[in-house]
Amino acid sequence: MKSRSFTAYLLSGILLCCFLLTGCTSGAQIDQLAIVMGVGIDKGSAPDNYLVTAQIARPSHVRTANEGGAAQGKPYLDIQQEGKGISMAMYEMMRQMSRRAYLAHNEVIVISEDVAAETILPILDYFIRSLEAKFTVDLVIARGTASGLLAADSNLEQMPAKHLQNLLENQVKNASIEEMPLYKFLSDMLSPGIAPTIPIMELYTDETGIQNARVQGAAVFDGGTLAGTLSAEQTRTLQLVRDKVKSGYINLDAFGSYVSLDITHSKTSVTPRVENGRVIAKIRIRQEYILIDTGVQADITTEDAKAQLERLAAMRLIQSVESLLQDTKAQGLDVCGFGQMAYRKYPRQVEALLETWPEQYKALEVEYDVETVITITGSILRPMAPKGGEQ
Amino acid sequence: MNAKSRISGLQFFTVTACFLIGTFLRITSITSVLANDAWVSVFTGAVAYLPFLAVFLGLVKRYPGKSLFEINEAVFGAVAGRILSCVYTYFFTMILTTTLLDMANFIVGFIMPGTPITLVLAAFMVSCVYATRKGLEPLARISALLASGACLVLVVNSLLTVANADTRYLFPMFTLPFLRYVQGTHTTISLYFGESIVFLTLLPMLDTKTDIKKPMIASLLFAVVIAFLAVTREILTLGPLLPYVARPSYETMRIIDIETILTRIESIYAFIMISLTFFKACTLLFASASGIAQITRIESPKPILFPFGAFVVVFALQTYPIVGDFLYWSSNVSPFIFTIIEFILPLLTLLAAWTKGFIGSSQRLHVKKGAVRK
């Protein structure tokens, strides 16, 4: 009886170990992990080879707000390795490190323009298959080298990768670009009738001689290959067409000087229709503004002046959309996704058109319905003119 | 397993609901067929399943309080009934095996990479055997908690995905060939709703006053709502990526990123999925062991549970050592095999029961008439 209970306890103990310790098989202590904050991908020395740069956090070198003072060293470490495919480069990288590269905190994947010009699909394939990497990691195209961009120091952030991510987020808030997480890019890429975009970043040298990173337009993709670029202005217009503008400003040349309007409300809707086997898109834009700044000394709060300003603002919007469409039509790259919108609404009529969509897009007809309203002229009713002036 | 413990109608509802939610969380087979129209098959599948549910309820009405295995013997006699029970037992074992294997692949692939799959399967099976030995009634009691927890997690997670959702992903609708919708509906009824045939093995455990019609229909409606919510959330979040990902529900959770604070919450989904799989595995283990007990005339399935559990672990490891083969079999082969067992056999049983009843009643009438003549 005694031996039976002993056996039962022994078996229970073994089973308990099985339950509690099996999870430790793949376990790793935090001090055994090299936490990757950003990944840069440049072209390697041979075809299909990539030069991968992993920015690894060094938590012991991160300064807290109270510590201040001079840094003991950089709070990050950039490690580079070339390999055939990303996985090979990552595995080879492990040989240089005493820790395992851990991708779960990776914030940004920077891909150089050279690599993007060939294809970014093998790169995305690695990250989408990875169970560790985030689906929401931001994609960035680097003008120049990805490793260079990833090394750009910032006075505001300790970690360049974090700096790049914050830069992107800030530009998204200003409606200058659309953040492009990995899963979103893949969704756009798999959808017919839309050319996906990824923000472009570049290094520039400021007046003090320090190199900084900045967002400079967007790269447009055809499938997984870089097929064109948009300027910063065109990228902002793209956000307008995609109805992503929540704030911003518009600067008009009017009454012999300038008038700055702050966008308080913006709504864009695109309604496609099919006529005689052609897609026609109607873009409706309604924006509301408040007057924030002007160099005009005349009273521009009169109905006539307001109407003229509103007309100018509407014309500016149409011109900017036209400019965007003109450039992208020339390249056959439907960045606004008119083809996708038309397909979603009229799948049967548009399905055949999508096979030759780049050509169809060149012949796309666009109608505009723009309404602009200046609601408030700020906290003053009329410009303050010196005594004895006209007003 | 305590034969005296009975489960009430409400508990039967939570048991069936838990089982069906656990089944619908592995919805990959539909999304890979119908992509953004996968939500349609939830409704068409539910409607197409109604006649089969009527068959199950017809059998239960004719043989109240009897399990599926007892009904087989009552209708077809001891030998043919046992052969049929063997088929059902094999079927429940197959579902148990695939359920366990799917869960183990998920744990080893996503949650604890590197952990030996044998250990995961063995540890899980030991828990299932232990719980099943305690009886169905304690399991039924926890099923209410599990069902509520699963619903809460699903609703909260769905709300968290709103920021990443895009309603345009639902369009264009109904552009696929008609046969794809037929395939999607067939897959839904055979792989998801049809598995509810296992509930017919639990009938002897029910309170004698329990009418199973209401809980069965209620759990079906409940499963439809939950499945629709889950599938729609995945379509709205993943869009065109949906047919490409191995585990849509899990990948949808991976996308949640609220201001970099609420992120990596897929572990909550994993917890719910493992809990529901545990519940489903216990139900299937009970059903399979009951089948063996009935066939071999063992009074209670309790002594069979442990050796049978060990057999299932080995069977799972031997049957589909390659994940790709397993996924192919689940999507392309099993719906056809399952249809025969889930729908054709019960229908034949009901028809045989009717015929037998009809012949029996006419013979009785004949005897009665003869007696009058005498």
| Distance between CA atoms of residues A210 and A256, nearest Å | 38
**What's the pLDDT at A391?**
43
- For residue A303, the one-letter residue type is E
Question: Which one has a higher pLDDT value, A152 or A372?
Answer: A372
Query: Nearest CA of chain B to the CA of A78: how many Å?
Result: 23
- The larger pLDDT score, comparing residue B373 to residue A267, is at A267
A187 vs B: CB within 8 A: yes
CA distances from A137 to A37, A128, A185, A352 (A): 10, 10, 11, 35
pLDDT digits (tens, 9 = 90+) for B291-344: 999 999 998 889 999 999 999 999 998 876 666 677 777 777 888 888 899 999
Q: Write down the mean pLDDT value for chain B.
A: 87
In this prediction, residue A156 has a pLDDT band, given cuts at 50, 70 and 90, of confident
Higher pLDDT pick, A163 / B359: A163
* Residue A135 in contact with partner chain B when CB distance is under 8 A: yes
- Identify the pLDDT of residue B374: 42
* Shortest Cα–Cα distance, B109 to chain A (Å): 8
Q: What is the mean pLDDT of residues B349-370?
A: 75
For B180-195, how does the pLDDT look when each residue is reduced to its tens digit (9 = 90+)? 999 999 989 988 888 9
Would the CB atoms of A190 and B172 count as touching at under 8 Å?
no
Q: How far is CA A365 from CA A276, A278, A329, in A?
A: 12, 8, 11
pLDDT at residue number A329: 95
Percent of chain A as helix, strand, coil, to the nearest 5 = 35, 30, 30
Flag whether pLDDT at B139 surpasses 80.
Answer: yes
State residue A390's pLDDT score. 47
Q: How confident is the model at residue A40 (pLDDT cuts 50, 70, 90)?
A: very high
Q: At a CB cut-off of 8 Å and minimum separation 6, what does B301 contact?
A: B1, B286, B289, B290, B292, B293
pTM over 0.80: yes
Q: What is the mean pLDDT of residues B126-145?
A: 88
Residue among B109, B122, B171 whose CB faces A344 most closely: B171
> What pLDDT does residue A1 have?
52
Rounded Cα–Cα distance for residues A98 and B136 (Å): 51
Write the CA distances from B170 to A234, A276, B53, B189, B331, integer angstroms. 29, 27, 30, 23, 23
First vs last Cα of chain B: how many Å apart?
54
What pLDDT shows up at residue A24? 64
Nearest to A131 among B110, B119, B239 (CB): B110
| Number of Cβ within a 10 Å radius of residue A356 | 10
A232-391 has CATH 3.30.300.210 classification: yes
pLDDT over 90 percentage in chain B: 42
Instruction: Name which of A193-202, A206-215, B50-59, B82-91 the model is least confident about.
Output: A206-215
Rounded average pLDDT over A283-291: 93
pLDDT of residue B38: 92
CA–CA dist A215, A232 (Å, integer): 8
Is residue B75 within 8 Å of residue B81, measured between CB atoms? Answer: yes
Omega into B172 within 30° of 0, i.e. cis?
yes
Average confidence (pLDDT) over A289-318: 86
Kindly state the average pLDDT of the residues B118-145.
89
**What per-residue confidence (pLDDT) applies to A38?**
95
Which residue is closest to B242 within chain A, CA to CA? A187
CATH 3.30.300.210 domain residues, chain A: 232-391
Q: Is A351 on the interface with B (CB under 8 A)?
A: yes
Tokens of A74: 């950089």
Instruction: Give the residue from chain A lying closest to B167, CA to CA.
Output: A344
Q: Would you give the distance in Å from CA B13 to the centre of its chain?
A: 14
Give the pLDDT mean for A190-201: 95
Residue A375: half-sphere exposure toward Cβ, Cα within 13 Å: 11
- Whether residue A299 is predicted with pLDDT greater than 80 in this model: the reply is no
- Amino acid at position B179, single letter: L
Of all residues in chain B, the one with the smallest CA distance to A17 is B123
Under the banding of pLDDT at 50, 70 and 90, the label for residue B73 is: very high
| Cβ within 8 Å of B, A 355-374 | none
pLDDT at position A30, please? Answer: 80
Q: Which two tokens stand for residue A326?
A: 């003109």
Q: Do A23 and B251 touch (CB under 8 A)?
A: no
pLDDT in tens, B201-239: 988 888 767 788 888 899 899 989 989 998 999 999 999
With cut-offs at 50, 70 and 90, classify the pLDDT of residue A275. Answer: very high
Which of A33-42, A240-249, B253-262, B291-300 is the least confident region? B253-262
Mean pLDDT rounded to a whole number for chain A: 87
Q: Which of A26, A104, A186 sits opposite B114 (nearest CB)?
A: A26
Query: A295: helix, coil or strand?
Result: coil
Q: Does A183 touch chain B (CB under 8 A)?
A: yes
Q: Is B64 helix (H, G, I), strand (E, B) or coil?
A: coil
Would an 8 Å CB–CB cutoff place B176 in contact with chain A? Answer: no
